[in-house]
Structure 1
Amino acid sequence: MTTTHSTDSTAAPVANNDLIYQLDDTPAFAPAIFAALQHVLASFVGIITPTLIIGGVLGLGAYVPYLVSMALFVSGLGTFIQAKRIGPVGSGLLCLQGTSFGFLSVILSAGFIVKGRGGNEEEILSTIFGVCFCAAFVEIAFSQFINKLRRVITPVVTGTIICLMGLSLIKVAMTDIAGGFGAPDLGALHHLGLGGLVLATIVILNRFPSQVVRLSAVIIGLVLGFGVAWYTGKVDFANMADVPLVSIPVPFKYGFNFDWVAFVPIAVIFLITPLETAGDLTANSIISKQPVKGPLYMRRIKSGVLADGCNSAIAAMFNSLPMTTFSQNNGVIQLTGVASRHVAFYIAGILVLLGLFPAVGAVLQLMPKPVLGGATLIMFGTVAVAGIKILTEAGLHRRNVLIVAISLGLGLGVAAVPEVLSQMPDALKNIFGSPITIGAFSAILLNIFLPEEHLELEENDYDPEAHLHTVLQNPQNDSATAMPSTNRDTLNAAPRTS
């Protein structure tokens, strides 16, 4: 008994050995701000890129700097709400909120509808933000029922969604390492060398026994990469003079318009993104050593999705795109070992300042794509591994393997060959063009309609103590030869009782 107690007491801390700061720990200012900076650097490009894409495609050039500032500002507000948990709103986890890529196609469609009617830039923006504000309440309403969908939000479904998140984003990281989308010298050796330098730096520092070194691995890798890029002439500060000093948030600055034709597809996406959010929150819970079943977990999912909807409404009010919980920051938690939700308050403050003072954000925009790619490759891979961990714990028996195989195949297949949807109506193409969306739908439907397998005996269900008791009581009926070999070894190794 003494030996067993000693073993258990030693093993208990090992379960949380990967975390330097637990969820409710309060780090000192220095480690907290250091961890916060790494989250900001990992997510900065993801926050502003949807705005840059929509501004470029819809020809909103003169408005883009202000829209980028507002994207950062509302990301800070949303991150604070998600981590602080104000009443029933917020998961209470170290989650970073940012503009969602999932809405790109439907928002572009809404913009083209207004543009086709002869609307100017401000009319386009007033319609986009007006429609997004109203559609956000679809997710707010949906969040109140999501905790009742336990048959839908199962480990095999969330594990598949999280896997798809990580795997589908790896293409983005690799493209950044190669130079970024549209780079004329995509795949040039100097791009690969820069990305490889950042990647190697983070890996090496992350294996150091020192917590301080591990905590700073990502930011040191990014700073080193940025410094090398600047030294070799790949960072240009020429356009910094045109950046305004301050951006003042003005609610519905461009007006408020509504269009039913634009509303419906955006509302549909607001019914899909909660599944992605649920997957992100589940991965975050796993990495943060929090439960992924039971009432606390379901309350976090419900409150986190509600926060997503509320933050999207706030984003539309302050002239930005819909919000979602970012998955790459789960990778930062894994790499730094800091899961404290108090770090999110520092992240929120930094993002708000970046939004109010765009000159600071403009410097970060100069970060070369290969530098970011070297860091995000590890983070996206970590997200995929978190999904794999959920799936293995759910049990990869024949039914679950079928669900995962089909869902991953459809999701990654659409990502690899988007032309497969080319003959579909635009509305369906917008919905199923996302690998996460089609994979999530597939996993949910298969999980609902494929019957559960009832195995008579699984190795994990075997109780060696009960079997030993039976053998001792009825030695003539010993069936130890029929048990799994691992359990036979356990019995054979056990001390014999006289």
Structure 2
Amino acid sequence: MNKNSELIYKLNDKPGAKESFFAALQHVLASFIGIITPTLIIGGVLGLGSEIPYLISMALMVSGVGTIIQAKKPLGIGAGMICVQGTSFAFLSSVLAAGFIAKAQGGGPNEILAMIFGVCMLGAFIEIFLSQFLDKLKRVITPLVTGTVITIIGISLIKVGFIDLAGGKYIMDNKPELFASFDNLLLGAIVIITIIIANKSSNQWIRLSSIIIGMLVGFIIAIFMGKVNFALMGQVQSFISIPVPLKYGFDFDIAAFIPIAIIYLVTTIESSGDITANCMISKEPIKGETYMKRIKSGILGDGINSFLAGLFNTFPNTTFSQNNGVIQLTGIASRYIGIWVGAILLILGLFPHIGAAFRTVPNSVLGGATLIMFATVAIAGIKIISKTDLNRKNMLILAVSFAMGLGVLLVPEVITAMSNNIGGITGKIIQSVFGSAITAGGLTAIIATLFLGEYPEKELDSLNNEVILEEEPSVNLVKA
């Protein structure tokens, strides 16, 4: 552990095999749950059943390949840093929406996955294109817009985590008498309490592994409660997972594509922030030509990796932020560690029984962990918003964006009725775009930012300052 935040190994240093393995293992532990959790949630909500172990294997393998690409930077693709790849929670709602579109058309698991991977593959080209124009995006995708979207993402996903905490969507729809039973709620509560206790530890590695520890404790207790179905592991047919391009086919729907496209736009900015933080920790420049070239190459790597993800049957990849904390803790910023991380993930992905083992985790245990993770996403968005200047313009943007986003989340029947009244492809597009709280709030924030332009804040601030100076000190303190 590096208490002084000084680097033991710099970006292009090459540590020995022993140091590399243990440093890489810590990165894997920090990101493992984040890599597989989106697949577990999507598979559970959409009822993908026996396909989940294979999908988890593909998630691990593609994350491994993507992490290696980011570290080695072949053909100028990748940041040339430890940028561990995995599916951002930002994609969850849009991916689920695409799955529900295929399901509503009578599709089974193959048709659902063909639709999801088809729109995600094509959406990756948006990020590939945007990677070359990052300096222009700042005029449209401001920290206020990004913070608003991330906050709405977190709030909308809390519902998914809370349903899992109470037993899961299948139980809610098919066995309502078991939904929110005492044992389900108890299991979820134990996981949450364990995560909180682990986060209070003075040991930084325990804090870093708090999600894994919480799920492990919950899983062990679930075994004694008889809530773990080990028979699910016996359903795995093969010992090794073989990547098969477009195993489930390829499908496309414009109504499913638009929300995915918007999330690619948002995660482009999000990943640029993660790579910038990595540059700071790794003692690399955070401005100038070298910095901008690294950011563009890193976002390009995200886009290429997301295309590979769709091609090889998993969900879009982005750069994880939690691994920046591992770099800071270990003092090892060497990009060669990224190659070791990728290799470990690849090996783990070869064995579908690993995915099958995670499929046995009860929904209540998973819900206890994801509820905190999703709430943390919302808090991260609020943190971004808090760093912006909340002047009249920004307050209005926040107001209309949250009004649209949370309005759709709380009363989805409005959009459903409106799209049914309009009918046709137009109605489907409206349902898909504005039926998602994320896209409704995000589009509103972008349009409002462009439409409102600049406010005459200087004159207003000057007037406010004059009024404040004339008031009592106690009033000034309250206003501050």
Please, what TM-score do these two structures have when normalized by structure 2? 0.75
Cross-structure match for 2:445: 443
> Per-residue displacement from partner, 1:231-269 (whole Å, max 9, x unpaired)?
2211121232231211212334567x6x7xx35445534
SS of aligned partner of 2:458: coil
Pick one of 360, 373, 384 that aligns with 1:366: 360
Distance 1:20 1:187 in 2: 48
Q: Give 1:220 shift.
A: 1.9
Cross-structure match for 1:272: 262
Query: Residue type matched to 1:96 in 2?
Result: Q
Distance 1:199 1:213 in 2: 15
Residue ranges of structure 1 left out of the alignment (5+ in a row): 1-12, 463-478, 490-498
Distance 2:445 2:217 in 1: 41
Distance 1:484 1:82 in 2: 57
Q: Give 1:53 shift.
A: 5.5
Distance 1:69 1:337 in 2: 29
Cα contact 1:70–1:249 (8 A) shared by 2:
yes
SS of aligned partner of 2:87: strand
Structure 1 range deviating more: 346-355 or 397-406: 346-355
Cross-structure match for 1:39: 31
Q: Give 1:173 shift.
A: 2.0
Q: Aligned-pair RMSD on alpha carbons?
A: 4.4
Pair 1:47–1:366, CA change in 2 (3 A): same
Cα contact 1:162–1:283 (8 A) shared by 2:
no
> Per-residue displacement from partner, 1:255-295 (whole Å, max 9, x unpaired)?
7x6x7xx3544553453122331353266468769599966
Cross-structure match for 2:424: none
> Per-residue displacement from partner, 1:9-43 (whole Å, max 9, x unpaired)?
xxxx99x98x9999969876446424522421244
Distance 1:279 1:300 in 2: 14
Pick one of 214, 228, 241 that aligns with 1:221: 214
Distance 1:480 1:167 in 2: 36
Distance 2:206 2:390 in 1: 37
Q: Does 1:250 align with 2:244?
A: yes
Pair 1:233–1:446, CA change in 2 (3 A): same
Structure 1 range deviating more: 147-156 or 371-380: 371-380
* Higher gyration radius (CA): 1
SS of aligned partner of 2:170: coil
Pair 1:212–1:73, CA change in 2 (3 A): closer
Cross-structure match for 1:206: 199
SS of aligned partner of 2:364: helix
Cross-structure match for 2:305: 311
Q: Give 1:442 shift.
A: 0.8
Q: Give 1:408 shift.
A: 1.9
Residue ranges of structure 2 left out of the alignment (5+ in a row): 420-426
Distance 1:338 1:405 in 2: 39
Cα contact 2:154–2:375 (8 A) shared by 1:
yes
Query: Residue type matched to 1:387 in 2?
Result: G
SS of aligned partner of 2:387: helix
Q: Give 1:107 shift.
A: 5.6
Cα contact 1:159–1:279 (8 A) shared by 2:
no
Pick one of 106, 113, 138 that aligns with 1:150: 138
Query: Residue type matched to 2:63 in 1?
Result: S
Q: Give 1:359 shift.
A: 0.8
Cα contact 2:113–2:248 (8 A) shared by 1:
yes
Distance 2:51 2:190 in 1: 36
Cα contact 2:45–2:169 (8 A) shared by 1:
no
Query: Residue type matched to 1:278 in 2?
Result: T
Distance 1:74 1:191 in 2: 33
Q: Does 1:167 align with 2:155?
A: yes
Pair 1:94–1:376, CA change in 2 (3 A): farther
> Per-residue displacement from partner, 1:320-376 (whole Å, max 9, x unpaired)?
1441438xx647877997597767656544543343210111111111222222222
Query: Residue type matched to 1:442 in 2?
Result: T
SS of aligned partner of 2:154: helix
Cα contact 2:28–2:345 (8 A) shared by 1:
no
Query: Residue type matched to 2:85 in 1?
Result: L
Cross-structure match for 1:426: 428
Cα contact 1:23–1:94 (8 A) shared by 2:
no
Q: Give 1:403 shift.
A: 0.9
Pick one of 400, 408, 411 that aligns with 1:414: 408
1:227-246 correspondence runs (5 A): 227-243=220-236, 244-246=238-240
Q: Percent identity between the aligned chains?
A: 39
